[in-house]
Structure 1
Amino acid sequence: MKARSLKITSAAILLSAAAWLPVQAQSFKAGFVNTDRILRDSNMAKSAQTRLEQEFSRREKEIIDMGNSLQSASDRFDRESPTLSESQRTQRQRQLMEQDREFQRKRREFQEDLGSRKTEELAQVLERANAVVQQVAEREKYDVILQEAVYVNPAYDITDKVISALNASSR
């Protein structure tokens, strides 16, 4: 109950302050930055993606090959199973289960390593992008720059400016 009344009180204070300062309210300058677009469209983000692909492509191919091999062995076992003795069938089932466990382990490690590196790379891009946002905000005299919003009038979207500045600074 206290948190709700605190929010109402804060909102009331802000509204009353805005009513007293109509001249300043008119000069208030806000902008919006679409972080997803920066992480997708900036040269720095694209180069990070390329680095990740180069770093993990060999391991990804190994995992795919291992999965294909496991699938082939499983299909072969299904075809040959009726003609195998009980001991041969049991031995082949154990081998398939061991292969599957190894495959699952390697795939999980790959996904964890890729996720960790992706987080590192994106953190670097975001850190640099935030510095560029601050530079743009200071240079163009913005009072506030938002990064998340339900709706933003396209006139306030400065994402293209930030991407251009980020691309220029990474050359």
Structure 2
Amino acid sequence: MKHQFSNLIKVSLVATIFYFATLQAFAQDAGTRVAVVNSEKVFNESNLAKAMQTRLQNEFTKRQNELRDSAQKIQAAAEKLDKDGAIMNEAERVRRQRELADQDRELQRKQREFTEDLNQRTFEERAKIAEKANLVLRQIAEQRKLDVIVQEAAFVNPKSDITDDVIKALNSQK
């Protein structure tokens, strides 16, 4: 089974290389001008991305700290219950265990909400950056008379990579 999987990967890799070689040959024969941009680098290194990170951090730090503090309180209460549980009567121990379980469920719910909110806001902010980056890509394509701009290529010849130019153009915008 492992051998078959390995062969499948090899065949897939050869097919991918053949596809890109054919695409490149076709592009050269047709006189097509192709450039490549690394969008993750744009999302991580542009001034817009850094400002996004700062905004998100400012927006979510308080909630994150509250969640961390709640988790520490629950942990401390659980440790105290473990330590004092042997000398408590059964009813009191069960009551405290239920309280801890309820607090833990509430904390997990708040953590899920936090994660969902953070992901949603990150998506919104990245969409704004992508919109501006797409405008810059169109401008660069027109200036350089490019026919195609590819995102996230498996291999990029440095002379075809316009990522730094996109970041510079984004950084120069207000």
TM interval, short-chain normalised: 0.7 to 0.9
Say which of 39, 45, 51 aligns to 2:49: 45
Say which of 64, 70, 73 aligns to 2:68: 64
Extract unaligned runs of 5+ from structure 2.
Answer: 1-18
* Cα offsets for 1:35-91 (capped at 9, x unmatched): 000000000111011100000111010000001111101111111111111001101
Give the counterpart letter for 1:114 in structure 2. L
Say which of 82, 85, 104 aligns to 1:81: 85
SS of the aligned residue for 2:68 comes to: helix
SS of the aligned residue for 1:146 comes to: strand
Structure 1 match to 2:40 = 36
Q: Is 2:115 the partner of 1:123?
A: no
Q: Distance in 1 between matches of 2:82 and 2:170?
A: 56
Say which of 139, 144, 164 aligns to 1:135: 139
Structure 2 match to 1:5 = none
Distance apart, 1:154 and its partner CA: 1.3
Extract unaligned runs of 5+ from structure 1.
Answer: 1-10
Give the counterpart letter for 2:95 in structure 1. Q
Structure 2 match to 1:112 = 116
Aligned length: 151
| Structure 1 segments (4+ residues) deviating >3 Å | none
Q: Distance in 2 between matches of 1:96 and 1:131?
A: 52
Give the counterpart letter for 1:47 in structure 2. A
* Same amino acid, percent of matched pairs: 46
Q: Is 2:143 the partner of 1:153?
A: no
Say which of 97, 102, 107 aligns to 1:98: 102
Give the counterpart letter for 1:33 in structure 2. V
> Which of the two has higher C-alpha Rg?
1
Normalised to the residue count of structure 1, the TM-score between the two structures is 0.84
Calculate the aligned-residue CA RMSD, in Å: 1.7
